[in-house]
A and B are shown apart, each in its own frame.
Chain A
Amino acid sequence: MAIINQATKELQVKIVYYGPAMGGKTTNLVQVHDHVQTAAGNKGKLVSLATSSDRTLFFDFLPIEAMTIKGFKTKFQLYTVPGQVIYNTTRQLVLRGVDGIVFVADSQYEKMPENVESFQNLVDNLNSLKLNLAEIPYVLQYNKRDLPNAAPMEYMEYLLNNREVQVPSFGATAHKCEGVFESLNMITRLLLHKFINQSVPQYA
Chain B
Amino acid sequence: MATLPQLIEEDIRHLDGVLREFIASTEAMATLIIDKGGFLITQQGDAHDFDMTSIGALASGAFMANQTIAGLVNETSFNSIYQQGENASMFVVNVDEHCLLVVIFKSHSGVGVVKYYAATAVKRIARQLKIARERTPESGLDLSVLNVAETAPLFRKKKKA
Q: Could you list which residues of chain A lie within 8 angstroms of chain B, going by C-beta atoms? A: 1, 3-8, 12, 14, 32, 35-37, 44-45, 47, 49, 58-59, 61, 63-64, 66-72, 74-75, 77, 79, 89-90, 93-94, 96-98, 129-131, 177, 181, 184-185, 188-189, 192-193, 195-196, 198-204
Contact = CB atoms under 8 A, between A and B. Distances in A.
B57 A47 contact: yes
Most chain B beta-carbon neighbours within 10 Å: one of A4, A5, A14, A94: A5
Contacts, number: 162
Contacts of A96: 1, 36-38, 64
8 contacts: A4-B140, A7-B7, A7-B13, A37-B159, A70-B150, A94-B61, A188-B155, A196-B143
A49 B152 CA distance: 31
B4 A69 contact: no
Interface of A is mostly: mixed
Nearest to A196: B143
A3 B41 contact: yes
Contacts of B148: 189, 192-193, 196
Contacts of A64: 155
Contact of A93 (B12, B40, B41, B65): B65
Contacts of B45: none
B151 interface: yes
Given A181-B155, A188-B155, A44 B7 contact: no
The 4 A-B residue pairs whose C-beta atoms are closest, nearest first, are: A97-B37, A203-B3, A201-B140, A7-B9
A173 to B, nearest CB: 14
Interface-centre pick from B61, B65, B139 (highest chain A CB count, 10 A): B61
A13 to B, nearest CB: 9
Given A44-B54, A202-B3, 17 more contacts: A3-B4, A4-B143, A37-B155, A47-B58, A49-B61, A61-B58, A64-B155, A77-B53, A77-B57, A79-B38, A97-B39, A177-B157, A184-B155, A188-B151, A189-B148, A195-B146, A204-B6
